[in-house]
Amino acid sequence: MLLYFRLLRESLAFALNALRNNKLRTLLSLLGVTIGIFSIIAVLAAVDSMDRKIKSDLSDMDVNTIYLMKGTFGPSDVPRWKREQFPNVTYEEYEFLKRSVNNVDKMSFNIFTRSENIKYLDKTVSSIRINPTTHEFVDINPMKIERGRYFNESESNSGSGVIIIGSEVANGLFGASSEPLGKKIRLYGQKFTVIGVLKKQGESTFGPSADVSVFIPVNFLRRLYGDNNKALTPVVVIKPVKGVDIDAFKAELTHKLRTFRSVKPGEINNFFINVLSGFTDFIDNIVGQMNMIGWVISGFSLLVGGFGIANIMFVSVKERTNLIGIQKALGAKNKFILFQFLFEAIILSVIGGVVGMFLVWVIGLVLTNVLDFEFVLSLQNMILGAGLAAFIGLLSGLIPAITASKLDPVEAIRTGM
């Protein structure tokens, strides 16, 4: 064991000596490893950070939550022209499904619509995401309300002019010191009373953040624009009871809606049942593909880096031929010489890898502060980067180390003189 510690110490000394005496040559040789490790770890860290953000944004929602609508969240075999002919889900269908479908925990009727401007006195906040919903949506997608409350069933059914606003909307209209609750603001040319303010959420992966969003009763918008406005996309959001067989639930939901719409046997469904778990699987698939692409692209840099390490180790063997001969003449075994050069190659490669990971860490800190997005360099990715660098060093140094270990001591001393 002491022999291996001695080998490591000597190899580290030789590696650092190579860096000191041949700075430019060594740095250029390590550049490939640095770039390769930087590329792989940067891609993995970016994808990992994005994956964490997506899971965080979806953490409050049940993965079995269903979005019933005319469109689909993912790819579909149904041609686009045919999908565009599908009818929108209606409020009457929402009420029918709410009465007739079993194993429903909560069901809400929502509308996707364009952004609008909101006014309070002389102040205007632009490009605000409007979320018209029924009162059940707060139980499907729990929202953290900092002040006030969500609208109740009576306000939802009657389409009252009440509104819940995001934190940035509140700051933009009322400032940090003024109390928004009870104030009248204007949206769609109508007056709304603020009854709730959402807790600050931060950036969202899926569209605008709740900080720049507002929630109003869906029946207010239906009364204002009707049910056939092309700028409005209705959706029924369904949360099944816990532990339900999701396939059986989807089958019942499909049967009920096909019957209500009088869809004939043999005809395709003219609606889509989008399950949130399917969407997360789709995201996981994209994340996996991004990781694979990152590995392929970065692999070329690592290949170049490996050649660079091999080159510097061949040069090192050449420069130390005389020393190798003397070590062998004094009784050093082939294994000692082999491990000496192998450790040196691994140490040099790990140095390049550490530099690459350090650059990822620095850039991650900058991006976190600039983009308000948490860029995480996990311990797992750091261990992976260090292990990968060591593996590249091992492969690159193997042939030079074997070459050094097989040198004849007499010839080595004569050649080095």
0.75 surpassed by pTM: no
Average pLDDT of the residues in 168-190: 88
**pLDDT at position 197:** 92
Kind and range of the H or E element at 187? strand 184-187
Task: Find the range with the poorest average confidence among 60-64, 115-119, 150-154, 156-160.
Answer: 60-64
Kind and range of the H or E element at 110? strand 104-112
Residues 295/40, Cβ–Cβ less than 8 Å: yes
The residues, any chain, with a CB within 8 Å of residue 224's CB and separated by 6 or more, are 188, 190
Residues 101/253, Cβ–Cβ less than 8 Å: yes
> Which amino acid is present at 328?
K
**pLDDT at position 260:** 92
The residues, any chain, with a CB within 8 Å of residue 245's CB and separated by 6 or more, are none
Confidence of residue 11 (pLDDT cuts 50, 70, 90): low
For residue 163, report the phi and psi dihedrals to the nearest 5 degrees.
-150, 145
For residue 309, report the phi and psi dihedrals to the nearest 5 degrees.
-65, -45
pLDDT digits (tens, 9 = 90+) for 191-232: 999 999 998 876 655 556 778 899 999 999 998 888 888 788
**pLDDT at position 277:** 66
pLDDT digits (tens, 9 = 90+) for 351-410: 888 888 888 888 888 877 777 667 777 778 788 888 888 888 888 878 887 887 777 766
**pLDDT at position 108:** 94
**pLDDT at position 77:** 81
Average pLDDT of the residues in 181-187: 91
